[in-house]
């Protein structure tokens, strides 16, 4: 797939999940074969006001190539200025969030709220395109609700505004993350525009990845929640498409080793206090479905040190081996 003049080799991108797709997780997913990553969404107003957290969210590691920085907001001028700051990070593209369903984002006119005002959404993209010299991409949803499935209209306007690629999450804002995913509307978008279309929604294994591509005809896929606690999903998808091989889930020992390495990197980037608190959700995802994991949830919920996490990993391994 090519986004503007940027060639992306592979099949799957990591979605810009707020509070999850930080530098540590992005780097890990790239290591496991993610072909493209997008940062957590960054507030355009925060960037203009020189908010330190916003600057931190945009920081990209040396291995994060190709990577896009995602910004959100509802004012064309502010978004244009924020895009310049995003482009200065060395990212290959600026991505505009027009799909976030969170009330604090949509309630202030950003994210998925822009689905209700396609003309404003197009003006934002046009302003951002004029402000930067790198490709601009846009991520949006099927529509606001089932009575307003306007992804095709959005796609036409976004292409006309200069977007170099479009990512469509096949759910409405009202759905949030509830099933089902509307693959047909992604297909309609693909048939409507000439720029690349990236399909997003409920890709959890090679079979669902293949189904997304076959049903929609999209150029690329984006994985979000399917990669939580399972960054090796990218390796599994690559192996399937490259060689027709279905890789099994990694052994428990490997899963725990990946978890520990992930959290150690997280702490290195954010410090132990923040890193270990964020480790609580990641650890719960890594051990989900493993025999004996349920009994450790309370312990995970109060994690404070990497040694505690190592102890939990040992217990998970022992429990799994004892029940084989």
β-pairing, 6-7 vs 12-14, is unpaired
Residue 285's contacts (CB-CB under 8 Å, 6 or more residues apart) are: 228, 229, 230
Of 74, 100, 218, 267, which one is the catalytic site residue? Answer: 100
> Are 234 and 12 contacting, i.e. CB atoms less than 8 angstroms apart?
yes
Please indicate whether residue 100 is annotated as part of the active site.
yes
Residue 197 pairs in a beta bridge with 166
Residue 303's contacts (CB-CB under 8 Å, 6 or more residues apart) are: 276, 277, 279, 280, 283, 309, 312
Phi, psi of 283 (to 5 degrees): -65, -40
Note every long-range contact of 306-315, with CB atoms under 8 Å and residues 24 or more positions apart, other chains counting.
306/260, 306/263, 306/264, 306/267, 306/272, 306/276, 309/259, 309/260, 309/263, 309/276, 309/279, 309/283, 310/260, 312/283, 312/287, 313/256, 313/259, 313/260
Give catalytic residue positions.
Answer: 100
């Amino acid at each position: 797939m090519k986004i503007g003049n940027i060639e992306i080799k592979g099949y799957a991108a990591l979605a810009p999940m707020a509070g999850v797709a930080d530098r540590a997780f992005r780097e890990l997913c790239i290591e496991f074969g993610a072909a493209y990553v997008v940062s957590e969404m960054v507030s355009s107003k925060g960037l203009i006001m020189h908010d330190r957290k916003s600057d931190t969210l945009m920081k990209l590691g040396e291995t994060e190539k190709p990577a896009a920085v995602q910004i959100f907001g509802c004012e064309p001028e502010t978004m244009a200025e924020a895009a310049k700051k995003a482009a200065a990070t060395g990212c290959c593209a600026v991505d505009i969030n027009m799909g976030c369903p969170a009330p604090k984002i949509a309630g202030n006119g950003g994210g998925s709220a822009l689905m209700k005002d396609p003309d404003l959404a197009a003006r934002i993209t046009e302003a951002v395109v004029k402000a930067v010299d790198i490709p601009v991409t846009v991520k949006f949803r099927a529509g606001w609700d089932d009575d307003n499935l306007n992804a095709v209209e959005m796609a036409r306007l976004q292409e006309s505004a200069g977007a170099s690629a479009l990512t469509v999450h096949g759910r409405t804002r009202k759905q949030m993350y509830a099933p089902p995913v509307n693959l047909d509307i992604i297909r309609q978008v693909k048939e409507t525009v000439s720029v690349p279309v990236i399909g997003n929604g409920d890709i959890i294994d090679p079979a669902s990845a293949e189904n997304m591509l076959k049903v929609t005809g999209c150029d690329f896929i984006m994985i979000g929640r399917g990669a939580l606690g399972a960054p090796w999903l990218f390796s599994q998808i690559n192996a399937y498409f490259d060689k027709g091989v279905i890789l099994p889930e990694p052994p428990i020992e490997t899963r725990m080793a990946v978890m520990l390495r992930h959290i150690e990197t997280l702490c290195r980037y954010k410090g132990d206090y923040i890193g270990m608190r964020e480790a609580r959700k990641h650890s719960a995802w890594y051990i989900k479905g493993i025999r004996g994991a349920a009994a450790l949830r309370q312990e995970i919920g109060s994690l404070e040190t990497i040694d505690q996490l190592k102890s939990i990993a040992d217990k998970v391994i022992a429990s799994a081996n004892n029940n084989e």
